[in-house]
Amino acid sequence: MNIFKLGLVVVFGSVLSFSVSAAEEGALTAGGSTNISSDPTEPLGCSLLANGVRINLSANVEGYYACDFANSDIRIGTCHIAGSRAEKSVDCVEDTDGNFQSSQCTTAGETVTFTDRSAFVATSTGGSVGEAELDGNTCTGDNISGLTFFN
């Protein structure tokens, strides 16, 4: 099991479901560990977590997380700074709230074409990992946070 999938299991295994109105989000440390507290007053916190978690990313892997209170889920995305720029076909994945990982997608299972760098995204309620195009942007936490998936 790779570090990204392990991190998703740790985060999603610690979710406590309830709804509040503020947003809690932040960049994950590339090539290191990021501690996310269940205390929303901490610099990196998420009150949707029952307990704090540690997310470990490999070298040159950037990441971003967000607690989505409107949908009572946690969203996470990662990418590699040397990620492939080759054209590729990607299957559209829909989460339980009807959101897709890419603005190109309109139907679950539909295949779209990405022509540049991409990130991998997942939610605690979606059950699958989807690929999201970075629209020509480099792989950074800020660029991941700008994906349709996080907005």
φ/ψ (deg, to 5) at 36: -115, 120
Q: What is the mean pLDDT of residues 86-90?
A: 90
Q: What is the mean pLDDT of residues 73-100?
A: 86
Residue 13 has pLDDT above 80, yes or no: no
Residue 71 has pLDDT above 50, yes or no: yes
Q: Would you list the domain boundaries of the chain?
A: 3-150
Q: What is the largest CA-CA distance in the chain?
A: 42
Residue 108 has pLDDT above 80, yes or no: yes
Residue 103 has pLDDT above 70, yes or no: yes
pTM for the model stands at 0.77
Q: Which amino acid is at 21?
A: S
